[in-house]
């Protein structure tokens, strides 16, 4: 058994957000001599405590954003962990972690949610429906367990800046655990942004220039802005936002001045991320008739070329019209990588639904897997709206103190939420088969020969040097001849 082990910090699973869990591989648990449910002390810039849970990987610890803030570590950092002991807490005092938290939540509701949780002074935790809080005092001191008999008090004043190791920088309110269905895209963004901001000296050793910009493109509502905010929050970087339409001015030179001011603020607060939303509105392709647009694009090109490596500023652009952007911006040295943030598939929708419903009181009959299967074409914003509308339906149906969201509430919400991606395109694999079509045996046989066989037995046709049947009835090139309406033509095609 080892007293202390060094492990690498990784992000928590979506289902673990706000639960104070520390997932450890079984080999690490054996070395420490701990089991699932035991306390473990995490030592980074600060000390905190978490509950051991089964994990995977090699010498990694998976903890959520609140625990990372408590210990003062980011993803990729190394921390020391050791087995811990806890006493039952007599008193615990909390203060709001930021101005988004409820300064006066119901004490009994807070206590009920935190029962059996492990805390110590300085730990950040989250209370469903009320926000994030910091433990500012415990009795006894050290690591303690909250029980039914613990007196939990919430003071309305904000916790002192830096209490959880964030250095006082205002958080963006987003974490990696808040992003569902975009794990691969998020990994690409992190690779391009986190390393240049956190360890720029590595690029100097390799003799290469770190990337200056990343362009995120995809349909509206897929999470482009959320990814930028989460990355800024996780790397503890200053976050500066430029909304394209807001900087456009009728006065000559004013738009360019606002761009220069934004870049100056980012440089002064480095490391920083400068996020340009709707970049296509200010960086469209230049032409002879657009004087103001041409000047803004030229200014943006000059500013991005003028970013020095030592300034530690990364520019993130977001657009849903990537082809409208001036080609000069899309070359290396400006936006070094273009990452598509696409429409989530069924697994992605399931993950997004779990994120947006993790603090909702769901009835046991609610089947998120079935909802994910039924919401083809829904993007992240649509699924967030779906969850919100289901909650509103529950409030209208049950006005008590503790309403529960039931399957019928989601049915009501589905009737009023339209999938955004269906307005642009639809890609799906139909589940209809020939057994769903009654009769028409001769037509089915001709379709199999004309459509299925060439696709299924292409190599066999090539080997025998024969052509699959492409025509039907003499010289008619159509596989199915036209007929009266409602004769199952559409269903046969599916």
* Whether residue 362 is found in the same domain as residue 375: yes
Asked whether residue 293 falls in the same domain as residue 185, the answer is yes
Q: Is residue 282 part of a domain?
A: yes
**Are 317 and 375 within one domain?**
no
Tell me if 322 is assigned to some domain: yes
Residue 323 and residue 197 share a domain: yes
Residue 167 inside a domain? The answer is: no
State pLDDT tens for residues 304-334: 887 765 568 889 999 988 888 888 888 887 8
pLDDT at 473: 46
Task: Show the domain range for 122.
Answer: 88-154
Residues 304 and 185 in one domain: yes
Shared domain for 229 and 251, answered yes or no, is: yes
Note down pLDDT in tens along the chain; length 494 residues: 678 899 999 888 888 888 889 999 999 999 999 999 999 999 988 899 999 999 988 889 999 888 988 888 888 889 999 998 999 999 999 999 888 888 888 888 888 889 999 999 989 888 887 888 999 999 999 999 999 999 999 998 988 765 554 444 444 567 888 888 888 888 888 888 877 777 777 887 888 887 888 999 998 889 888 888 888 777 777 888 888 778 877 788 888 898 899 889 988 888 888 999 888 888 888 777 667 778 888 888 888 887 765 568 889 999 988 888 888 888 887 888 899 998 899 999 999 999 899 888 888 899 999 999 999 889 999 999 999 999 999 988 876 667 889 999 999 999 988 888 776 554 556 666 767 777 777 777 777 777 777 767 777 777 777 776 655 444 444 444 555 555 555 666 65
Total domain count, the chain: 5
What CATH number should be reported for the domain holding residue 369?
1.10.8.60
Residue 337 pLDDT: 87
Q: Which of 396, 423, 450 is where one domain is finished? A: 423
Domain shared by 363 and 395, yes or no: yes
The predicted structure's pLDDT at residue 475: 42
Asked if 211 and 305 sit in the same domain, the reply is yes
Residues 335 and 350 in one domain: no
Domain boundary among 106, 123, 154: 154
Q: Do 217 and 298 fall within a single domain?
A: yes
HSE (CB half, 13 Å, CA atoms) of 398? 13
| Whether 265 and 397 share a structural domain | no
Tell me, yes or no, whether 163 lies in a domain.
Answer: no
Read off the CATH number of the domain in which 128 is found.
3.10.330.10
Asked whether the beta carbons of 65 and 17 are under 8 A apart, the reply is yes
Going edge to edge, which strands form the sheet with 313-319?
A: 238-243, 272-277, 313-319, 213-217, 337-340
**pLDDT, tens only, 228-242:** 888 877 777 788 888
Return the pLDDT at 160: 76
Q: What is the pLDDT of residue 427?
A: 54
78-83 and 21-24 strand pairing: unpaired
pLDDT attached to residue 372? 92
Are residues 193 and 263 part of one domain? yes
Listed residues 37, 69, 85: the one ending a domain: 85
272 found inside a domain: yes
Residue 368 resides in a domain: yes
| pLDDT given for residue 50 in this prediction | 92
């Amino acid at each position: 058994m080892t007293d202390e082990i060094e492990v690498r910090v990784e992000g928590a699973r979506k289902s673990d957000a706000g639960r104070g869990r520390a997932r450890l591989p079984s080999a690490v648990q054996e070395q420490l001599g701990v089991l699932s449910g035991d306390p473990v002390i995490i030592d980074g810039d600060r000390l905190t405590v978490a509950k051991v849970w089964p994990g995977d990987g090699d010498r990694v610890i998976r903890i959520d954003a609140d625990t990372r803030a408590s210990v003062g570590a980011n993803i990729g950092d190394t921390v020391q962990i050791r087995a811990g002991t806890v006493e039952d807490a007599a008193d615990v005092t909390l203060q709001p972690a930021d101005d988004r938290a409820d300064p006066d939540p119901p004490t009994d509701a807070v206590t009920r949610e935190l029962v059996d949780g492990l805390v110590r002074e300085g730990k950040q935790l989250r209370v469903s429906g009320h926000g994030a809080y910091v433990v500012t005092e415990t009795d006894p001191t050290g690591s303690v367990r909250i029980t039914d008999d613990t007196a939990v008090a919430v003071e309305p004043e904000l916790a002192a800046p830096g209490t959880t190791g964030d250095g006082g920088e205002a958080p963006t309110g987003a974490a990696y655990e808040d992003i569902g269905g975009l794990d691969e895209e998020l990994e690409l963004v992190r690779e391009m942004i986190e390393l240049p901001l956190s360890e720029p000296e590595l690029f100097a050793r390799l003799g290469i220039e770190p990337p200056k910009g990343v362009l995120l493109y995809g349909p509206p509502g897929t999470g482009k802005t959320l990814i930028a905010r989460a990355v800024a929050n996780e790397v503890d970087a200053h976050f500066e936002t430029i909304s394209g339409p807001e900087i456009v001015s009728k006065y000559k030179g004013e738009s360019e001045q606002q761009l220069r001011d934004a870049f100056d603020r980012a440089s002064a607060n480095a490391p920083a991320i400068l996020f340009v939303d709707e970049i296509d509105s200010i960086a469209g392709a230049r032409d002879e008739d657009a004087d103001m647009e041409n000047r803004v694009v030229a200014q943006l090109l000059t500013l991005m070329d003028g970013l020095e490596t030592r300034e530690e500023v990364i520019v993130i652009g977001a657009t849903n019209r990537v082809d409208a952007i001036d080609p000069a911006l899309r070359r290396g040295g400006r936006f070094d990588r273009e990452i598509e943030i696409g429409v989530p598939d069924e697994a992605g929708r399931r993950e997004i639904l779990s994120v947006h419903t993790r603090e909702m009181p769901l009835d046991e009959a609610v089947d998120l897997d079935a909802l994910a299967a039924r919401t083809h074409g829904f993007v992240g914003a649509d699924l967030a709206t779906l969850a919100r509308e289901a909650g509103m339906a529950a409030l209208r149906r049950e006005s008590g103190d503790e309403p529960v969201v039931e399957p019928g509430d989601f049915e009501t919400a589905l009737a009023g939420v339209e999938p955004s991606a269906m307005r642009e395109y639809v890609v799906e694999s139909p589940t209809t088969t020939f057994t769903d079509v009654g009769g028409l045996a001769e037509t089915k046989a001709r379709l199999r020969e004309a459509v299925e066989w060439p696709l299924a037995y292409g190599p066999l046709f090539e080997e025998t040097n024969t052509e699959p049947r492409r025509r039907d009835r003499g010289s008619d090139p159509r596989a199915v001849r036209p007929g009266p309406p409602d004769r199952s033509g559409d269903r046969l095609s599916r």
